[in-house]
Amino acid sequence: MFVIYVSLNYQQLPITTREQLVFSKEELTRANELLSGEKSILENMILSTCNRTEVYAVVDQIHTGRYYIKRFLANWFHVSIDQVTKWAEIGFKQDAVAHLMRVTTGLESLIVGEPQILGQVKDAFFTARDLGTTGVILNHLAKDAITFAKKQHTTYRVSELAKTSGQTGLHQIKTGLQDLSDKHVVIAGLGDVGSHVLKNASTMGFGEITILNRTNEKAVQLADHYGATVRAADWDKLAVAANAADAVILATSAKTPVLNGHTFASGDTNLKMVVDLGVPRNVHSEDLPVEITYFDIDHLTAIISENQRAKADMIDQMAAQVPAAVDAFDVWEQQLHVVPVIKEIRESAMDVEKKRPTTVCSVSCRNLTPTSAK
């Protein structure tokens, strides 16, 4: 028995081709069932995302298994086997195990290290398992891959490294303020950048979010959309709202500062942090009281660059763990094949023991009585 994978993914195919090679969620049940009926396929599961469609299978022979998987894909997507052969990335044995480990951990993702693929692999596995198209080997392999990926994402928190200036600014606020449940943040400017910041901030657990925009109707509409935690304020109340907040994020396209640093007088403001996403800058940082921490776009860009270096190092460390995980599965699989042999040997030994005749004493036993003294 051999583990094999056949992959149609973004590294080999443009989106114009890839979008034609996707299983919908509703199709996966039927597809797994049909694949399971193909010659040489002993176990199987199908993973299908926007960036990859992959078959993982246990086959009795590599060359026939590979052929019938490609034939299945060709028939399903109404293309030729030659096209599938041209497009597909195929691997087997340890390469197949390593590939699933890397895919599940996000090492093969378009955004390297992203954790969303872990949930997609889990869904693919559960679908196949519940149908009964997986067995001892794929069940163990999928569980190993999921456990491995969870461990890597817990150890190396790649997804927490901010990739945009808005995300980085919010991360700095979270780091500075820590518990956000009783904290108040103001977001001024609700264009593309500000709206994206609001979307992220709304999931972070702030106690209160105040939003302001020169077009007040947009602020009111967004506040209604996000619910009770978010409220809109008139643009001319920006200074008042900022002084009452714990942090302010400025994302306007104004040509001159919308706030003067002298607005935040020491002792008269609650403000602790200012994130300025504007270019030109939205506030004169030189006028800010020293107790207010200030980040402009250059500060945030430097942090993003450092994040990229840290991410690259984490990705290398995650990838370095894959061979050991593959070896561990290989050891388990070898033991799987040995166990029936050991069981057979033990049962044979027990049969021999049962058939062995009872040992009989070959010496006649005499009832010796002491000779009486004469």
Tokens 């790649």 -> residue:
158
Asked if 365 is an active-site residue, the reply is: no
Number of neighbouring beta carbons within 10 Å of residue 72: 24
Sheet holding 230-232, edge to edge: 230-232, 208-212, 184-188, 247-250, 273-276, 293-295
Q: Whole-angstrom Cα distance, residue 222 to residue 218?
A: 6
DSSP state of 259: B
Q: What is 151-188 written as a DSSP string? A: HHHHHS-GGGS--SHHHHHHHHHHHHH---TT-EEEEE
Q: Which of 15, 50, 302, 331 is catalytic?
A: 50
Q: Whole-angstrom Cα distance, residue 36 to residue 134?
A: 9
Q: Whole-angstrom Cα distance, residue 219 to residue 234?
A: 9
Residue 214 has which token pair? 């020169």
Contact 204, 231 (CB under 8 A): no
Distances from the Cα of 314 to the Cα of 112, 153, 241, 320, angstroms: 11, 10, 40, 10
Contacts of 363 by beta carbon, 8 Å cutoff, 6+ apart: none
How far the first Cα of the chain sits from its last, in Å, is 86
3-state class percentages of the chain: helix first, strand second, coil last, to nearest 5: 50, 15, 35
CA nearest to 323, candidates 97, 57, 108: 97
Residue 6 has which token pair? 């056949």
Which H or E run includes 66?
Answer: helix 62-77
Active site residues: 50
